[in-house]
Amino acid sequence: MGEEIIVVGCGASGGTAAQFARKTSRNANVTVFEKSKYPQYSKCALPYLISGKISGPEKLIEFSVEWFNRAKIKLFLNSTVTGIDDKKVYVKKNSEVIVKEYDKLVIATGARSAVPPIKNILDKNGELKKGVFTLRTVDDAIKIINYIGDRKRNALIVGGGLIGLEVAEAFYSRKLNVTVVEMLPNILPSMIDEDMSRELYDQLSGYIDIFTNHMVLDVEGDDKVESVRVKNNGNGEEFKLPVDVLVISTGIKPDVDLARSIGCKIGEKGGIVVNRRCETSVENVYAVGDCTEGRDFVTGGSFPVGLGSIGVRQGIVAGVNAAGGDMELFDGFLQTRTTRLFDVEIAAVGPVSAVLDDDVVSGKFRGSTHPEYYPGGSQVVVKVLCNKFDKRIVGAQVIGKNAAQRINTMACALLHKMGVDDFIKLETAYAPPIAPTIDPLAAACEVANMKLRRRN
């Protein structure tokens, strides 16, 4: 008889944990309980479902029920784990209650959207007012699509982060007038520095209206949203915007009720605390994905995990370990992240300057994908952050073609604590139709390096 491994939640990290448990042990019994009716699908793709780029919800499924069957993983959909007790999970599936014992438990309960305290955002029943949405699930996306129909005109997004701007683009492609309101002075504030954000702002503001350093005070309309009152944080001025559909995109709140109920330690960011093996503070219980909090590789500080790339890697590690393997994540997360907005690719790794201390020096370079002499190059802007004492790279931000692939190289450099002075010696691939001899990444490192030399 194999060990009983139970995974709670079939999002990207839970599903991955189940898969890698199966890969690691052929004898283990792997069971997944998922509260929704969907098997593992991509949450990050929801904005592209709204835009129509992805044609329907069924396309989002990454691993189907049949796939799980073939892999001999028992997947229960519409199955909510209501309690855990004495190494048993209690599951409600329709009117039925399933009780199942586990040897190892993987909690992958995800997160909910955080809703900021905006006046009148809720109706009398404490639900989001009609026309106000959050976006976490396929069902959320379908509700939004149905609500917009062909008649809605004015969309407003609260929050100028990654998802907020992706939804803004999706609405734009559905021919809505789109406004984004961001409380902080710049868009993508947890991804790129203010100067880099301005580069992007200029490119996006041809398509959508963006109010940074503004906040939504009040949602107006009786039975549904009709307008909002917005305040300029700088000068205090207030104004009204007509709004047919409002999407809240101001971050997530980890779903930790189950974990807390069995005594798992919850961290300062509200997520389940896990070690490098994805073990919680409770024996035989792992946790992965958006319900956990991570440790930043550079600062050592905690952050709520909200990236699929991290969740999937946690899933791999938890799955392998739950099935008797031995795998450990690196000592902190790099938080590599990317998006494409109106054909502009943006990518970053490591913390932004604002959360780093004064020991950091930056190098910024505006270069081209191609050598100057070769036609067809396009602009790439790179900013590199490094520690001013040991020169090691602690962050990088790229706007331009292939930003994501470029940032992967910086992620590898950051992980290995490579210095900006060493980076310029890294042989990057060079060919006239592809890249210059000194890549823009290296050129930005050299700018930082020169600053440091001048200091000494």
Contacts with a second copy by CB under 8 A lie at 12, 42, 44-45, 48, 53-54, 59-62, 307-310, 312-313, 316-317, 329-330, 333-340, 345, 347, 349, 371-375, 402-409, 411-413, 415-416, 418, 422, 424-435, 437-439, 441
Nearest Cα neighbor of 280 from 293, 298, 296 is 293
For residues 15, 20, 25 and 27, what is the CA-based torsion angle, rounded to 10 degrees? 10
The residues annotated as belonging to the active site are 44
For residue 398, give the H/E element and its range: strand 393-400
Question: Within a 13 Å sphere around the CA of 442, how many CA atoms are in the beta-carbon half?
Answer: 15
Q: Compute the least distance from the CB of residue 443 to a second copy, in Å.
A: 12
Neighbours of 332 (CB within 10 A): 16
Instruction: For Cα atoms 194, 250, 291, give the angle at the middle one, nearest 5 degrees.
Output: 115
Which one, 97 or 434, has the nearer CB to a second copy? 434
Q: Identify the three-state secondary structure at position 213.
A: coil
Cα 210 vs. chain centroid, distance in angstroms?
21
**Tokens 């902080």 label which residue?**
184
Q: Compute the least distance from the CB of residue 244 to a second copy, in Å.
A: 26
Nearest Cα neighbor of 149 from 260, 257, 244, 255 is 244
Q: Compute the least distance from the CB of residue 48 to a second copy, in Å.
A: 6
Which one, 44 or 98, has the nearer CB to a second copy? 44
Q: Compute the least distance from the CB of residue 221 to a second copy, in Å.
A: 33
Q: Compute the least distance from the CB of residue 347 to a second copy, in Å.
A: 5
Q: Compute the least distance from the CB of residue 316 to a second copy, in Å.
A: 7
Which one, 379 or 405, has the nearer CB to a second copy? 405
- Strand-pair partners of 253: 112
Which one, 181 or 349, has the nearer CB to a second copy? 349
Nearest Cα neighbor of 179 from 225, 224, 138 is 225
Indicate left, alpha or beta for 164 from its phi (over 0: left) and psi (-120 to 50: alpha).
alpha
Cβ-in-10-Å burial (0-12, 13-18, 19+) of 448 comes to: buried
Cα 332 vs. chain centroid, distance in angstroms?
16
Which one, 217 or 412, has the nearer CB to a second copy? 412
Which one, 7 or 380, has the nearer CB to a second copy? 380
